[in-house]
Amino acid sequence: MSQKLRDFVVRFAVGDDTQGGQSSVWRIWKSRNKDDVYVAPRSVAGQIKGSLHASGLCSFAVTAQHHAAISSAKPDRHITSWRRRPTPTDGYTNSVQILFAEEFLSRKPFPVETGTTLLTPISGT
């Protein structure tokens, strides 16, 4: 997926500027032809992603291409789905939350590519 052809792409990871990334790098992007938005860890975006459709339907699912490749016995490729609440007049609604549990963050931070935003982890201790 070429970032140059997209109107909207955000890459982020949990980490800090002094040490680097501690979580997978995640990507949020807008569909080329629709007002749909997708979210996935970059490393598995070809296999699984979250979809926030303009219609209000949302889901986390195996991608159509990956589902066809694994010829799953499960006919429905969706893991979970829901309907987004109507957008309020201020234009924002909470559709997805991604939680990064501290115990699953890497103890060996890694460098991240330019253009990836590092979000500082909030320690629970």
User: Model confidence over 34-64: pLDDT tens digits?
Assistant: 889 999 999 999 899 999 998 999 999 999 8
Question: How confident is the model over 66-70, as a mean pLDDT?
Answer: 84
Condensed to tens digits (0 to 9), the pLDDT of residues 71-98 reads 766 778 888 999 988 777 887 878 888 9
Task: Mention every residue, 6+ apart, whose C-beta is less than 8 A from residue 125.
Answer: 102
Closest by CA to 57, choosing from 39, 77, 80, is: 80
Q: How many CB atoms lie within 10 A of CB 95?
A: 15
Half-sphere CA count of 94, side-chain side, radius 13 A: 2
Check whether 3 has a pLDDT greater than 90.
no
pTM of the predicted structure, to 2 decimals: 0.81
In whole angstroms, give the CA distance from residue 62 to residue 70.
10
Average pLDDT, the chain: 86
User: What are the beta bridge partners of residue 82?
Assistant: 58
Q: pLDDT-derived band of residue 2, with 50, 70 and 90 as boundaries?
A: very low
Written as six digits, the tokens of 58 are 């949302």
Residues of the chain above pLDDT 70, percent: 91
The stretches of the chain forming alpha helices (DSSP H) are 64-70
Q: Are 50 and 40 in contact (CB under 8 A)?
A: yes
Chain centroid to CA 16: 19
